Amino acid sequence: MDRAGMLLERVTDGDGEPIVVVIDFLGTASAGKFGGQSAGKLSQVLAARSAGRRIYQADPVSDLTGLEEYLDLPALAVRYCRACEREGIAGTRVTVVGHCASAALAMLVAQRLAGHGRTRVVLVQPTLADWDMIGEEFSRIRASLKAAGASAPVLSRSPRSALDEMERVLRQDLAELAGSMGLADSTAMMAELLDRYRAWLGFLLGTSEALLDRHDHALRPVVIVGADETATVPWTAPQACDIRLVEFYDDAVAGQLAECILR
Task: Give the start-end residues of each E strand in the chain.
Answer: 9-12, 16-23, 32-34, 37-40, 53-58, 94-99, 119-124, 222-226, 242-246
Say yes or no: 107 and 44 in one domain. yes
Ranges 212-216, 252-256, 258-262: which has the least confidence: 212-216
Say yes or no: 176 and 225 in one domain. no
Would the pLDDT of 195 be above 90? yes
Q: DSSP state, 101? A: G
Say yes or no: 162 and 60 in one domain. no
Would the pLDDT of 36 be above 50? no
20-49 average pLDDT score? 70
Within 10 Å of residue 255's Cβ, how many Cβ atoms? Answer: 15
Quick one: 148 exposed, middle or buried, by C-beta within 10 A (0-12, 13-18, 19+)? exposed
- For the chain, give the longest Cα–Cα distance: 56
Nearest to 123 by CA among 103, 104, 139, 109: 103
Say yes or no: 124 and 224 in one domain. yes
Residue 107 lies in a domain: yes
Within 10 Å of residue 115's Cβ, how many Cβ atoms? Answer: 11
Say yes or no: 122 and 152 in one domain. no
Say yes or no: 171 and 78 in one domain. no
pLDDT at 213: 83
- Give the span between the Cα atoms of 82 and 109, in whole angstroms: 10
214-234 average pLDDT score? 85
**58-101 residue pLDDT tens:** 999 999 998 888 999 999 999 999 999 999 998 899 999 999 99
* Residues paired with residue 225 on neighbouring β-strands, in sequence order: 245
Please give the residue that has the higher pLDDT: either 245 or 41: 245
Please give the residue that has the higher pLDDT: either 97 or 38: 97
Would the pLDDT of 118 be above 70? yes
Residue 150's identity, in one-letter code, is: A
**164-178 residue pLDDT tens:** 999 999 999 998 888
For residue 30, name the pLDDT band (cuts at 50, 70, 90). very low
pLDDT at 33: 54
Say yes or no: 152 and 92 in one domain. no
In terms of phi and psi (left: phi > 0; alpha: psi -120 to 50; beta: otherwise), the region of 5 is beta
Say yes or no: 53 and 117 in one domain. yes
pLDDT at 22: 96
* Residues paired with residue 94 on neighbouring β-strands, in sequence order: 19, 119
Please give the residue that has the higher pLDDT: either 3 or 157: 157
Task: Give the start-end residues of each E strand in 41-140.
Answer: 53-58, 94-99, 119-124
> What's the domain range around 188?
131-209
Q: Are 43 and 117 in contact (CB under 8 A)?
A: no
Q: Are 173 and 150 in contact (CB under 8 A)?
A: yes
CATH code at position 27? 3.40.50.1820
- Which residues, in sequence order, are CB contacts of 79 under 8 Å at separation 6+? 4, 5, 6, 71
pLDDT at 40: 57
Residue 24 lies in a domain: yes
pLDDT at 38: 45
Nearest to 261 by CA among 6, 17, 11: 17
Q: What domain count does the chain have?
A: 2
Say yes or no: 92 and 48 in one domain. yes
Q: Are 35 and 252 in contact (CB under 8 A)?
A: yes
